[in-house]
Structure 1
Amino acid sequence: MPVCVHAEQSSYGSLRSDRLPRHKRPSQRREASSLCVTIGLINNMPQAAFAATERQFISLLDAASEDIEVRLSLYSLLDIPKRALDDDNTGSSYSSIDKLWETDLDALIVTGKEPVTVNLGDEPCWESLTQVLEWARENTYSTVWSCLAAHAAVLYLDGISRHKSDKKHFGVFECACVSGHPLTAGAPPRFIVPHSRWNSLSEEDLVSRGYSVLTRMAGVGVDTFVKEENSLFVFFQGHPEYDADTLLREYRRDVARYLNHEATTYPSIPLGYFDSSTEGVLTALRDKARSCQSEQLFASVCTALETIRVKNTWRPTMARIYRNWLEYIYARKSGSQLDDANVA
Structure 2
Amino acid sequence: MPIKVPDLLPAKGKLQEENIFVMDESRAFTQDIRPLKILILNLMPLKQQTETHLLRLLGNSPLQIDIGLLHTSTHTSKNTSPEHMKQFYKSIEDVKQNKYDGLIITGAPIEKLPYEEVKYWDELSQIMEWSKTNVTSTLHICWGAMAGLYYHFNIDKYIMPTKLSGIYPHTLNDPREKLLSGFDEEFMVPHSRNADIRKEDIENTPGLKILSESDKAGVYLVASTDGKQIFVTGHPEYDSQTLKKEFDRDTAAGLHPQIPEDYFPDDDPEQIPKLRWRTHSNMLISNWLNYYVYQETPYEL
TM range (shorter): 0.7 to 0.9
Which structure shows the bigger proportion of residues in helix conformation? 1
2:107 and 2:164 map into 1 onto residues whose CA distance is: 16
Match of 1:214 in 2: 211
Q: Deviations over 1:47-75 (max 9, x none)?
A: xx211011100011112x1x210110011
Match of 2:228 in 1: 232
Instruction: For residue 199 of structure 1, give the secondary structure of its aligned residue in structure 2.
Output: strand
- State yes or no: 1:2 paired with 2:2: yes
Match of 2:22 in 1: none
1:320 and 1:127 map into 2 onto residues whose CA distance is: 33
Q: What percent of counterpart residues are identical?
A: 28
Match of 2:155 in 1: 160
Q: What's the TM-score, normalizing by structure 2?
A: 0.84
Matches within 5 A, 1:237-252: 237-252=233-248
Which structure shows the bigger proportion of residues in strand conformation? 2
Task: Kindly indicate whether the alpha-carbon contact (under 8 Å) linking 1:74 and 1:93 is maintained by their aligned counterparts in 2.
Answer: yes
Match of 1:331 in 2: 295
2:139 and 2:273 map into 1 onto residues whose CA distance is: 27
Gaps spanning 5+ residues in structure 2: where? Answer: 9-31
Gaps spanning 5+ residues in structure 1: where? Answer: 9-32, 283-303
Match of 1:275 in 2: 265
Q: 1:102 to 1:62 in 2, by over 3 A?
A: same
Q: Which of 127, 151, 155 is 1:132 aligned to?
A: 127
- State yes or no: 1:107 paired with 2:70: no
Match of 2:23 in 1: none
Q: CA deviation at 1:167?
A: 1.9
2:112 and 2:258 map into 1 onto residues whose CA distance is: 23
Task: Kindly indicate whether the alpha-carbon contact (under 8 Å) linking 1:174 and 1:191 is maintained by their aligned counterparts in 2.
Answer: yes
CA RMSD between the two structures: 2.3
Task: Kindly indicate whether the alpha-carbon contact (under 8 Å) linking 1:170 and 1:194 is maintained by their aligned counterparts in 2.
Answer: yes
Q: CA deviation at 1:181?
A: 1.4
2:253 and 2:4 map into 1 onto residues whose CA distance is: 37
1:117 and 1:221 map into 2 onto residues whose CA distance is: 18
2:265 and 2:41 map into 1 onto residues whose CA distance is: 35
Larger radius of gyration: 1
Q: CA deviation at 1:83?
A: 5.2
Report how many aligned residue pairs link the two structures. Answer: 275
Amino acid at match of 1:245: Q
Match of 2:92 in 1: 97
Q: CA deviation at 1:168?
A: 1.4
Q: Which of 246, 253, 258 is 2:249 aligned to?
A: 253
Match of 1:172 in 2: 167
2:157 and 2:71 map into 1 onto residues whose CA distance is: 24
Task: Kindly indicate whether the alpha-carbon contact (under 8 Å) linking 1:116 and 1:123 is maintained by their aligned counterparts in 2.
Answer: no
Q: What's the TM-score, normalizing by structure 1?
A: 0.74
Q: CA deviation at 1:147?
A: 1.0
Task: Kindly indicate whether the alpha-carbon contact (under 8 Å) linking 1:43 and 1:74 is maintained by their aligned counterparts in 2.
Answer: yes
Q: Which of 184, 189, 192 is 1:193 aligned to?
A: 189
Match of 1:29 in 2: none
